[in-house]
Amino acid sequence: MWSGSDLVRVLLGAILMAVSSSALGNVSKNVVCYQGTWSVYRPGLGKFGVEDIDPFLCTHLIYAFLGIEETGDLRVIDAYLDLEDNSGRGNIKSFNALKLKNPVLKTLVAVGGWNEGSKRFSIVANDPLKRAKFVDDVVRFLQRHGFDGLDLDWEYPDQRHSLENGDRLNYITFLKELKEGLEPFGFTLSAAVGSAQFSAEISYDIPAIVPYLDFINVMAYDLHGPWDKVVGINAPLYAAESDSSDSTGRQQQLNVDAIIKYWLLAGAPPEKLVLGVPFYGRTFTLTTAEGNLPGSPHIGKGIAGKYSREPGVLGYNELCELMQQEEWIKRWEPTQQVPYAFRERQWVGYEDPRSLALKAQYVMDHHLGGIMIWSLESDDFHGTCGQQPYPLLHEINRVLFGDSTPTGLTTESNKDKPNEGFSCPVDAPEGYVRDPDNCSNFYYCSGGTTHSFECPSGLSFDLNTKSCNYSSSVKC
């Protein structure tokens, strides 16, 4: 009988062999997808659970969020949802079981987020014993639940709360010790980071943190919102013409192009930079209905979405449904390369397939590590707006992988896939077996159920390592 930790090691081996193989083509591009797990409580068509995730459209899925205690302990925020204890829903188990559908998928758990604040991170990062406790707790949690790594979402060092000797230096030590604790087990370490120069240079010594992170999720969104005096677009690709009139230079930093160029010039290698894009827009209430161009005055937040129910925010799924029901006027901002829309005094700057295709092409042109999505539940995951499900995510994959997915597999190609005559006996021990007639095919037997997999082209399933390996190295 295979234990959970054995299964994790087997899957990790398959992942590492597959990802290292040139047979997978352009797997160097990551598609990192966050799920805000609270979305399972949304009403109606907005309800988003693990069963709504297409595990073939992302290279990495990130479970958001866990918390951190001042003691250095991990904190499960929603134990009923996340765990199986006390008749819980076991959401984490279901999340990691997606790797049974796509064996080259990686799953990470995110600790932090905006609502978690910064104070507890500051306290833990400043204390060597508490840092050690956190590292130990993380390793145990990843092992116990079958995750492939940790995503650290401290928002933000040296900004919202800081100790006298400074978060910026402690952050480096924190990452170093996390990397040393995770690396022996093959676990991935990533971080979500503040993006614009005037913010990032406060929080990060970029050359010092780069060695400890496998990839860096640059949150290049929330660049404009109701906190500004005038309406602006959430994540413009380039600066607006009016930004040049800002004597401080701050406005010129609030676009994707300026953000990425800053991180590159500051010492981040392009292959580690993952461009974060939003699947939601920021809404405003205009001062007058006639003043509807970007840069027009407003009186505060706009309408809330009927699923997310947060004033000032509309998920793409919420907006596209509104546009089917109401007469919104859509415009394209040619300089910033993003859309916006308005209806009477309501205004929103958002993303659509066209703008995200341009951002994905920017990733290709600048040889970046990939794209990060915040977050899956805001795509039109049901396809209710007349397109296929996940139109935004599909468009990103189209540009990065050429009308395909990261592995070339899809939900449909693996759904109820016939086993060509092979099926696991009811009394078969739990674990992996190789197809007797085709060394590239393998199966996972569990309680008489057969899960079918296929190694990428040029690889065969190695019975010794229980993972995909170069065919020349496998006795077949």
Cβ atoms < 10 Å from Cβ of 40 = 18
Cβ atoms < 10 Å from Cβ of 188 = 21
Q: What are phi and psi of 151, to 5 degrees?
A: -115, 120
**Beta 74-75 vs 30-36: how paired, if at all?**
unpaired
Cα torsion 286, 378, 148, 399: sign: negative
Structure tokens at 463: 């019975």
Burial letters for 198-217: b for 16+ Cβ neighbours within 10 Å, e otherwise?
ebbeebbebebbbebbbbbb
Q: Give, to the nearest 10 degrees, the angle between helix 4-20 and helix 128-145.
A: 90
The residue annotated as part of the active site, out of 116, 155, 351, 377, is 155
Cis peptide before 375 (omega within 30 of 0): yes
Q: Which segments of 160-312 does DSSP mark as H helices, in order?
A: 167-182, 197-203, 206-209, 256-265
Please count the CA atoms within 13 angstroms of the CA of 105 that sit on its side-chain side.
27
Distance CA 315, CA 338 (A): 16
Running DSSP on this structure, what letter comes out for residue 227?
A: T
Cβ atoms < 10 Å from Cβ of 287 = 15
Distance CA 347, CA 331 (A): 11
> CB neighbours of 75 closer than 8 A, spacing ≥ 6?
66, 67, 68, 69
Q: Which 3 state secondary structure label does DSSP give 222?
A: coil
CA 362 and chain centroid, separation = 18
241 counts as catalytic: no
Distance CA 364, CA 359 (A): 9
Active centre residues (catalytic) = 155
